[in-house]
Amino acid sequence: MNPYHKQAISDLTILLRQAIDALEQGGPELVEPAKELREMVTRPPRVAIVGRLKSGKSTLVNALTQHRIAATDSLECTLVVSMYLDGAPARAEIIGLDGESIREPLGNGPLQKLPRPLDEIDYVRQYLPNVSLRQLSLIDTPGTATLTVENEERTRRMLVDGGQDTRRASSWADCVVFLSDSAPRDDERTFLSQLGMTPLTTVGVLSRADSFGAGAFGQVDPIIFAGEHAYKIAEQLQSVVETVLPLSGLLAESASVGRVTETLARNLGSLVMLDRDQVLDFIEVDDPGVIVRGFTPAMRDDLLDAVGEYGIMAGRGVAHQSGATGLLKWMREVSGIEALTQLLTGDIVYFAILQRAVRMLDALEDISNNYNVRNHVRWVQEVILSQPGMHFVLLYRSYRNTYASNPNSVLLPALRRAITATNPAEVAGLTSSADPGVVRAKHEEELGKLQMLAMTPLSAAEDEARERLIVAHQHALRSLR
Ligand SMILES: Nc1nc2c(ncn2[C@@H]2O[C@H](COP(=O)(O)OP(=O)(O)O)[C@@H](O)[C@H]2O)c(=O)[nH]1
Ligand SMILES: [Mg+2]
């Protein structure tokens, strides 16, 4: 992450905490909301993983945490919303719709059974001492837009309805990973737009890349093909995501959770001399020993479970040549998990922090509707909104609101630039090495355009965005002097 953004995160967190401390002073009714908000702004940012049933969400959770914590088979545990957080001892808290919480110790693997009937459960919180979760906690969802309406309902209850409920602020997601193994459908786009995110806080993933197109035995490498196709999906999702990355969650998970042993690599390597048709036969015949002497069906199933058809076809050469170490390295690289991890631990963390700061402003607005505490909350709002440290939060709020009101607004590129900029030149869309005179002229030009926009019909969100941008350019101009 950019060091400038790192500093901004810690400054902003202090500011928000001070506001929450002040909020709490307003009376006993504000103690609970303050507690929720405090938890929200101090915990690690949280990414929600969404997508259809079987798009590879839970597999990705395991790959990201390098631990088999999320169930991926057809257990009932895959049907609930699960939150994964850093914490010891490893345990699950099953939260009922009645608010009651049941605690279960967690062994080495995923939660096996639910202590209550599925329809009585709100969500599950799972704690695990885990370095990745310390940076970014996760919400795994049972799926959207599937044939199973209940899954969709559970997911929506957490992310859409729950996302509007201030009493659940500490459970809110700050950014989203959207998995899809084909072109996204209209209902998925609608669902994504209801999450209140922006392209800066939403990452698209073309999942199951290893079986994309014609798969492991087709003419072209499925992962490379998926990489090319990802651009098309990114175009279709233009107002929702900025990038779509191809990912083989299966290869990533197996490489991350210790499934690749020397024995497995040796078995895989022993297939190196087969041609394409023989590999197909090897996968399909009852007894693979007739193709490769000594190979049992159990050994083959183990290989298929760990690396899939693509891993067998494309990974056997690597396994033969460089053993388990080389195979692991190859799996991490081709799976796409390194690129995704880099993205999720990069600047998106900063945008997630801006997102949640905006959500805190939303929450304050919501709480201020309570007549008894209105004056106190209004005062807190006024104080926080007047802080110079809120500049980027307010820009981001304009960006989010402008997206919601008009996803094609001409103001969006400028807003994005102003939010992501780390120096005055970038606010104007130039690089930091640009000549100060040129930078100044560009700012003047942008200001002129913004002034002209006042003559055209704008939505309320765009109107506010226009004003914020004027402030941003003026601010940048001043700091050039
Ligand atoms: N070939 C292949 N299979 C995958 C991949 N990701 C997940 N799967 C398999 O698809 C099934 C469903 O995955 P899961 O992560 O549970 O999907 P979820 O319903 O979205 O959580 C499991 O059997 C996984 O092993 C992938 O990238 N490639
Ligand atoms: Mg799942």
Is residue 272 domain-shared with residue 244, that is, in the same domain?
no
Does ligand 1 have an atom closer than 6 angstroms to the CB of 253? Answer: no
Q: Decide if 65 is inside a domain.
A: yes
CATH number of the domain at 90, please: 3.40.50.300
Ligand nearest the Cα atom of residue 307: 1
pLDDT at 258: 93
Is residue 243 domain-shared with residue 188, that is, in the same domain?
yes
pLDDT at 425: 96
Structural domain range at position 297: 258-333
Is residue 233 domain-shared with residue 173, that is, in the same domain?
yes
Q: Which residues pair with 94 in a beta bridge?
A: 102, 124
Atom of ligand 1 lying closest to residue 71 CA: 16
Query: Which residue's CA is the closest to the ligand 1 atom numbered 18?
Result: 54
Is residue 311 domain-shared with residue 392, that is, in the same domain?
no
Q: Decide if 26 is inside a domain.
A: no
Does ligand 1 have an atom closer than 6 angstroms to the CB of 144? Answer: no
Does ligand 1 have an atom closer than 6 angstroms to the CB of 311? Answer: no
What is the 3-state secondary structure of 30-49?
HHHHHHHHHHHHHCCCEEEE
**CA-CA distance, 473 to 470, in Å (whole number)?**
5
Does ligand 1 have an atom closer than 6 angstroms to the CB of 359? Answer: no
Q: Decide if 226 is inside a domain.
A: yes
Atom of ligand 1 lying closest to residue 210 CA: 28
Does ligand 1 have an atom closer than 6 angstroms to the CB of 53? Answer: yes
Is residue 119 domain-shared with residue 217, that is, in the same domain?
yes
Is residue 102 domain-shared with residue 241, that is, in the same domain?
yes
Q: Decide if 297 is inside a domain.
A: yes
Is residue 243 domain-shared with residue 262, that is, in the same domain?
no
Assess contact for 55 and 396: CB atoms under 8 A. no
Ligand nearest the Cα atom of residue 55: 1
Q: Which strands sit side by side in the sheet containing 202-206, from one edge to the other?
A: 101-105, 91-96, 121-128, 82-86, 137-140, 46-51, 175-180, 202-206, 244-246
Assess contact for 273 and 321: CB atoms under 8 A. no
Is residue 272 domain-shared with residue 234, that is, in the same domain?
no
Q: Decide if 31 is inside a domain.
A: no
Number of folded domains that form the chain: 3
- Centre of ligand 2 to C-alpha 232, Å, is 26
Residue from 351, 416, 358 nearest 384 by CA: 358
- Centre of ligand 1 to C-alpha 346, Å, is 26
Q: Decide if 367 is inside a domain.
A: no
Does ligand 1 have an atom closer than 6 angstroms to the CB of 58? Answer: yes
Atom of ligand 1 lying closest to residue 207 CA: 27
Is residue 70 domain-shared with residue 112, that is, in the same domain?
yes
Is residue 78 domain-shared with residue 200, that is, in the same domain?
yes
pLDDT at 145: 65
Is residue 174 domain-shared with residue 50, that is, in the same domain?
yes
Q: Decide if 368 is inside a domain.
A: no
**Per-residue pLDDT tens listing for the chain (481 residues):** 889 899 999 999 999 999 999 999 999 999 999 999 999 999 999 999 999 989 999 999 999 999 999 999 877 888 899 999 999 999 999 999 999 999 999 988 899 899 999 999 999 999 999 999 999 999 999 988 655 677 888 999 999 888 888 888 889 999 999 999 988 888 898 899 999 999 999 999 999 999 999 999 999 999 999 999 999 999 988 889 989 999 999 999 999 999 999 999 999 999 999 999 999 999 999 999 999 999 999 999 999 999 999 999 999 999 999 999 999 999 999 999 999 999 999 999 999 999 999 999 999 999 999 889 999 999 999 999 999 999 999 999 999 999 999 999 999 999 999 999 999 999 999 999 999 999 999 999 999 999 999 999 999 999 999 999 999 999 999 998 7
Which of 311, 333, 355 is the C-terminal boundary of a domain?
A: 333
Which of 308, 333, 358 is the C-terminal boundary of a domain?
A: 333
**CA-CA distance, 425 to 439, in Å (whole number)?**
6
Is residue 244 domain-shared with residue 262, that is, in the same domain?
no
Which of 282, 314, 346 is the C-terminal boundary of a domain?
A: 346
Q: Decide if 11 is inside a domain.
A: no
Residue from 269, 207, 192, 194 nearest 238 by CA: 192
